[in-house]
Amino acid sequence: MKKVSLLFVTLFTSGYLYADESEKLGMAEPEVVKNYYEYCIEIKAEEDELEPHILGCVNTQLKESGFDLFKTYRDIIAHIKTGDE
């Protein structure tokens, strides 16, 4: 029983450490955001409005990866364009 408890505590604690590290990633590289953008375009349903769908979808991908989120659709596009320069 002690081994199981120790294993659980170790996994639980390391999960928090991983989350803390991922919170420090900051802004994703433009290429990463572009890949998420293209993925979100592919899965968009016809009835979904483009900008709200992309903003929500890209931010979901970024959040799961530990990156900062965007406030607007235009911010996403502007960030992607910085990688094209």
Residue ranges of domains in the chain: 26-84
Instruction: Report the pLDDT value the prediction gives residue 4, as an integer from 0 to 100.
Output: 42
Please check whether residue 50 is in contact with residue 44, taking contact to mean a CB–CB distance below 8 angstroms: yes
The full length of the chain comes to 85
Q: How far apart are CA 74 and CA 55, in angstroms?
A: 9
Instruction: Report the pLDDT value the prediction gives residue 24, as an integer from 0 to 100.
Output: 56
| pLDDT, tens digit (0-9, with 9 covering 90-100), for 36-64 | 999 999 999 999 999 999 999 999 999 99
- Residues 70-79 have a mean pLDDT of 98
SS3 11: helix
| pLDDT, tens digit (0-9, with 9 covering 90-100), for 9-26 | 444 444 444 444 445 589
Q: Is the pLDDT of residue 3 over 90?
A: no
